[in-house]
A and B are shown apart, each in its own frame.
Chain A
Amino acid sequence: MKAALTLLLLAVLATLPFWLDNAYLLHVVIITGIFIIAAMSLNLLLGFAGQLSLGHVAFFGIGAYASSLAALGFKLTTPFDVTVAPNPVWLSMLAGMLAAGLAGWFIGRLAFKVRGAYFVIVSISFAEVMRLVAVNWLELTQGPMALNNIPPLELFGHAFWKKPENYWLVLAVAVFSYILIRRLVHSRAGRAMIALAENEALATSVGIDVTRYLVLAAVVSAAMAGAAGALYAHYVRIVDPDVFLFVYTVTMVIMVVTGGKGTLAGPVVGGLIFGLLPEGLRAMAIAPEMQWIAYGILMVLVVYFLPVGIVPALRRR
């Protein structure tokens, strides 16, 4: 039964561009999809491995910038003379994921040294430093003038200019990410991560190499967020330093927490709600500030009354 439902859902999703005849709504769905991928990646670190990393947008932004720069090519004179020629986009996206994964490794190692609330602050600071670097290193990133005219993905000679093909690309990556996380969580590594989240001292005492699994969670999580960032960069085709703003981390956190952290479907449900809700509210001509006030209040209410999130609460019924 479950398999049949899943197949039906996939069929509906796969054919969406055919029956959703509105270019603007398709655009909204694509952006929502990208955020869902990012939310799933955060869930791995926050939900499953229990690490309160609030700098997640750093990985998203690093993926976006690294991929864009690799695709556009760049020239530096300080601190050293470097010229990078433009590269094919698929290769650049991989570069983006690699750069993000590297940052994840750094954060993972740091998380072990610095715990709890301190780690929260460090992770936020890391994202802010990335933003300030993006703003000030004009030669590399163009600062507030943004990286513009980023080329779209090109596969087998076909360039992804149109919306439907971008939608399918995002859908494919989202499904792949979901399956990847699912397998990881159910694997030995995954169980170790969850053990670490539940009770670190106990996990160590039974011989689990806590550092290793923490770093693994961070790297996979970061690389996935980096992939989302790269998808974003090559779809929207413009990237500016505000991509590192804390408010995007907050958006991802809201998606994960209200959906249900530590569940597979949680970030998807949360992502759908908070990705599509703004458009629905926009149609009702509610001021954007009121929307965000509503989200803030919603988050507080969820923490009080539905602390495990929507998905687990529904499951209990």
Chain B
Amino acid sequence: MKPFVAAAFAAAFSTLVVAGSALAQEPIRIGVTQPLTGAFAASGNYVAQGAKIAEDAINAQGGVLGRKIQLVIEDNKSNPTEAVATAEKLISKDKVPVLMGAWSSTLTLAVMPKLMEYQVPMLVETSSSGKITTSGNPYIFRISPTSEMEARAFAPMVKKFGIKKADFLATNNDFGLGASQEFSQMLKKEGVQVGVMETMDPKATDFSAQLAKIKASGSDTLFVTTAVEQITLILKQAKEQQVKARIITTGGSNSPDQLIQQAGEAASGSYHLVFFTPWFPEAVKNADIATRFVEEWKKRGHNVGGLTEGFRGWDGVHTIAEAIKQAGKPEPKAITQALWNVKVKGINGDIAFIKQGPAGKESAQNVPSVYVVKIENGKVVKN
């Protein structure tokens, strides 16, 4: 009798355990909205790829709070109205407790009212417009630098480059216009003359008119801020039109390796502000994490040109995972509170948040590292 009872007990107990863990096996969903198609598709896809590498790495180590994490990735089509639709879907339908997105500043700004409405936090991995953390939205947690931070990081190099007069060519959305504004203000403080400030539509492919005006202005430097697809075309067309100014791209989404692949010779002699230098891992603070990421990226056959963009997905997902762990439950309010206190070793450096914006409604901002590299003879070199 006893063995029988013991066996029955064991059977019942193990069934309960299995059932219990099956319930606990329900994954923690994290919403991701990125431009997978449209004018910013190259970078959006890189970020998504980086995020998926992070997802697998975290799950391989047991996940978060005993459960696996699951990224729900939606395509916002590089369009602000679509970005709002993806946020609506992720929050109301998929019931995600936290989001990451939306890549471009315009897309992120579009989503922000939804975060206020549903009180769900979003980790901003790429956008650079100052407005995002100064509008009084306490659900924003940004790990990427603002254009202002970028400009400040670049200021010491102005003398080194010997810039006397600079032009600007930027995509006419919050990202491009914000960067032009911040950099031109910084340059004026350094005593540099600002020439023409040209813009273009994010979907444009022909910049001959803008480049003709830039050529005529006689500046020694041209600052370009836009997505990598347009940078490729600008480099090619600038060479064709014999624009003499040195080109410096900002924003960190410039994927120098991709520029070398696609613009070839035309990319030589250009400078780029990036937030991750996979070519010089020793310059990176958390070298071991960075190296592992680069290895896994290459193992999956992703374009190496995407490393300088994909790391954002990794850093973003890891920050979110750490916050969920510290919150103790996958619940928006708890995660929002926990995010303020996270300290994560990321690929860009150590991630932690400071307050930014109007008192009482601050947003969170990280202070990341900024690097300047140069393309010379088909390779990326330190500046």
Min C-beta distance of A222 to chain B, whole Å: 22
A253 on interface, CB distance cutoff 8 Å:
no
Stretch at the interface among A41-49, A71-79, A139-147, A192-200: A139-147
Stretch at the interface among A32-40, A87-95, A211-219, A233-241: A233-241
Docked CA distance A104–B83 (Å): 31
B201 in complex: contacting residue of A23, A144, A146, CB < 8 Å: A144
Interface residues of B (CB under 8 A from A): 75, 79-81, 84, 88-89, 92-93, 106, 109-110, 113, 117, 172-174, 177, 201-202
Docked CA distance A237–B87 (Å): 14
A143 in complex: contacting residue of B75, B92, B172, CB < 8 Å: B172
Residue contacts A-B, CB under 8 angstroms, 8 given:
A22-B93, A23-B92, A146-B80, A148-B110, A149-B113, A236-B84, A242-B79, A288-B75
Docked CA distance A148–B111 (Å): 10
Docked CA distance A194–B281 (Å): 74
- Structural contact, A242 and B81, CB atoms closer than 8 A: yes
Instruction: Say whether chain A's binding surface is mostly helix, strand, loop, or mixed.
Output: helix
- Structural contact, A144 and B173, CB atoms closer than 8 A: yes
- Structural contact, B201 and A24, CB atoms closer than 8 A: no
Interface residues of A (CB under 8 A from B): 22-24, 27, 135-136, 138, 143-146, 148-149, 161, 236-240, 242-243, 288
Task: Kindly list chain A residues whose C-beta atoms are within 8 Å of the C-beta of B93.
Answer: 22, 24
Q: Which residue of B lies closest to A147 (CB)?
A: B80
A24 in complex: contacting residue of B92, B172, B177, B202, CB < 8 Å: B92
Count A-B pairs with CB separation below 8 Å: 54
Min C-beta distance of A148 to chain B, whole Å: 6
Docked CA distance A237–B113 (Å): 9
Q: Which residue of B lies closest to A31 (CB)?
A: B85
Task: Kindly list chain A residues whose C-beta atoms are within 8 Å of the C-beta of B88.
Answer: 24, 27
Given A144-B202, A236-B84, verify A24-B79 contact (CB < 8 Å): no
Docked CA distance A32–B43 (Å): 32
- Structural contact, B81 and A240, CB atoms closer than 8 A: yes
Task: Kindly list chain A residues whose C-beta atoms are within 8 Å of the C-beta of B174.
Answer: 145
Min C-beta distance of A217 to chain B, whole Å: 30
Min C-beta distance of B39 to chain A, whole Å: 9
- Structural contact, A146 and B81, CB atoms closer than 8 A: yes
Task: Kindly list chain B residues whose C-beta atoms are within 8 Å of the C-beta of A22.
Answer: 93
Docked CA distance A161–B173 (Å): 28
Min C-beta distance of A275 to chain B, whole Å: 14
Min C-beta distance of B27 to chain A, whole Å: 17
Q: Which residue of A145, A239, A240, A242 has the most chain B CB atoms within 10 A of its CB atom?
A: A145
- Structural contact, B81 and A144, CB atoms closer than 8 A: no
10 shortest A-B CB distances, which residue pairs? A24-B93, A24-B92, A146-B80, A144-B173, A23-B92, A240-B80, A145-B106, A145-B173, A242-B79, A145-B174
Min C-beta distance of A4 to chain B, whole Å: 35
Docked CA distance A238–B84 (Å): 8
Task: Kindly list chain B residues whose C-beta atoms are within 8 Å of the C-beta of A24.
Answer: 88-89, 92-93
Q: Which residue of A lies closest to B112 (CB)?
A: A148
Task: Kindly list chain B residues whose C-beta atoms are within 8 Å of the C-beta of A149.
Answer: 113
Q: Which residue of B lies closest to A135 (CB)?
A: B201
Task: Kindly list chain A residues whose C-beta atoms are within 8 Å of the C-beta of B92.
Answer: 23-24, 27
- Structural contact, A238 and B106, CB atoms closer than 8 A: no
Task: Kindly list chain B residues whose C-beta atoms are within 8 Å of the C-beta of A288.
Answer: 75
B110 in complex: contacting residue of A27, A143, A146, CB < 8 Å: A146
- Structural contact, B106 and A144, CB atoms closer than 8 A: yes
Docked CA distance A22–B89 (Å): 12
Task: Kindly list chain A residues whose C-beta atoms are within 8 Å of the C-beta of B89.
Answer: 24
